[in-house]
């Protein structure tokens, strides 16, 4: 559920197909730069009502899913 929502947010923001976003995808491989990441984190914070302080430590989609699962 968290994973699907993240894929949806990233797909919309980066204008890519959600099915191309895998658990092991790195943000770098998805061409997500630091400013894209700020926006994606903002959308995710709103969606899951959490606060992500150290977004730069998150490198992959799985990192993000795990962070949300642990903190929501």
Interface residue list for another protein (CB under 8 A): 33-35, 38-39, 42
Residue whose CB is less far from another protein, 18 or 38: 38
- C-alpha pair distances (Å), 45 with each of 17, 20, 25, 26, 72: 22, 23, 20, 20, 10
The distance from CA 40 to its chain's CA centroid, rounded to whole angstroms, is: 6
Report the catalytic residues.
33
Smallest separation, CB 33 to another protein (Å): 7
Please count the helices (runs of H) and the strands (runs of E) in the chain.
3, 0
Nearer to another protein, 17 or 56 (CB): 56
Closest approach of another protein to the CB of residue 39, in Å: 7
């Amino acid at each position: 559920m968290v994973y699907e929502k993240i894929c949806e947010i990233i797909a919309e923001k980066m204008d890519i197909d959600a099915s191309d976003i895998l658990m092991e995808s790195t943000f770098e491989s998805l061409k997500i730069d630091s400013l894209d990441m700020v926006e994606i984190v903002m959308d995710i914070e709103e969606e899951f009502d959490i606060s992500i302080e150290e977004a730069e430590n998150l490198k992959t989609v799985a990192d993000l899913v795990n962070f949300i699962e642990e903190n929501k």
